[in-house]
Structure 1
Amino acid sequence: MLTHTPENQRLVDLLARVAHEDHEAFKQLYQLTSAHLYGVALRYLRSRSTADEILQEAFINVWQQAGSYASTLSTPMTWLISVVRNKALDHLRKFKNESEHTDSYDDGEISRPDGIAEHADPHELFDAATEAIALNRCVAQLDATQRQSLALAFYNGLSHSELAEHLRVPLGTAKAWVRRGLERLRKCLESHQQSLAGEAR
């Protein structure tokens, strides 16, 4: 039988609000649970910078999957810990055969992605997670051709001409897809920032 405490019920309510994309509820959930969840990540990964990264990724998953939480099956913290644990184990599996990466983690030499400094405070990590969520949502709204073009250009480093050859389209078409995709991303992210500013007032 699950333990029903005021603390558990508060987290249940916050997760329900997060499932409806309530940014304030997400912020409160983060503030209430991030310190404990960071400790969980650190126990698995033994690296502060990597634990910070995994915690950020876990909270992005929480934002996206909060609707799948079932209060009849587990307490909120048990569910949140499972999200962090799964992320940490995925990370360990990915790099277990790459000893040079492991050595770097032990030495604390891996740089933080997205400009986040090692030992960043919870507010910085929350802001980074929120920005990543907004970017993922905006990318999902792009046309398939725009999304693919931007991924190839920025993640694979293809030039416009290489992109056109890869996608078998005229050079002008490839350039247009990238340009329009970037413009839509910019407008979407600006709209997100404006909505956050409105909530802060």
Structure 2
Amino acid sequence: MDSDDLNALILRVSLKDRASFAVLYQKTSPKLFAICIRILGDAGEAEDALQEIFVRIWQRAETFSAETRSPTGWLATIARNHAIDRLRQRKPVARDIEEAHDLADDADSPEESAHLSGEGRRIDRCMDRLKPDHAAAVREAYVAGLSYDELAERYSVPLNTMRTWLRRSLMKLKECLEA
């Protein structure tokens, strides 16, 4: 689904059009679910988060501006921020970290399964076009949830340089994905 179609759907959702909301859910929920899985690491929690995300989309659709944001980016940001909020609300696990490591399952996780989908491969191809440091910074910012300050410190660059890296990298990704 292209940006114009998503823009139109979000506009109709802002007018509380339930049919458009259903189409928006159908077209975008797999991608938003993959974001939730990647951040939360639990399918059940990701499903709950996805439902809450679509409630937010329904409530906030009128705040979307096609002139300032891409619809995919806007939706992904809502999903990412909500999943990170849920992650931060979790109570710390009381188990010893070594015990948890020994119990880890070597099978593909839901995150890896979602990543193997066609959309994931397409995004990976576009990410491979970025400089390695820039691609890693994008992943750490938008998947792992690191702040600009944390990234600037990790890569030993000034804060504004990190912001520029991320902004330019996202613009390149957008161009690649729209091609």
Normalised by the length of structure 2, the TM-score is: 0.51
What's the Cα RMSD here?
A: 2.0
Shift of 1:98: 2.4
Say yes or no: does 1:14 pair with 2:14: no
Where in structure 2 are the equivalents of 1:128-167 lying within 5 Å? none
Q: Which portions of structure 1, spanning 4 or more consecutive aligned residues, are displaced by more than 2 angstroms?
A: none
Partners of 2:87 and 2:26 in 1: CA distance: 26
Shift of 1:91: 0.5
Where in structure 2 are the equivalents of 1:38-187 lying within 5 Å? 38-95=33-90, 97-99=91-93
The 3-state SS of whatever aligns with 2:2 is helix
The 3-state SS of whatever aligns with 1:99 is coil
Shift of 1:74: 1.3
Partners of 2:37 and 2:71 in 1: CA distance: 20
Question: Which one has a bigger Cα radius of gyration?
Answer: 1
Where in structure 2 are the equivalents of 1:20-39 lying within 5 Å? 20-39=15-34
Partners of 1:91 and 1:35 in 2: CA distance: 19
Q: 1:100 to 1:25 in 2, by over 3 A?
A: farther
Percent of aligned positions that are identical: 32
Shift of 1:99: 1.1
Extract unaligned runs of 5+ from structure 1.
Answer: 1-5, 108-201
Partners of 1:98 and 1:40 in 2: CA distance: 22
- State how many pairs are aligned: 97
Normalised by the length of structure 1, the TM-score is: 0.46
Give the number of the structure with larger relative contact order, counting CA–CA contacts within 8 Å between residues 6 or more apart.
2
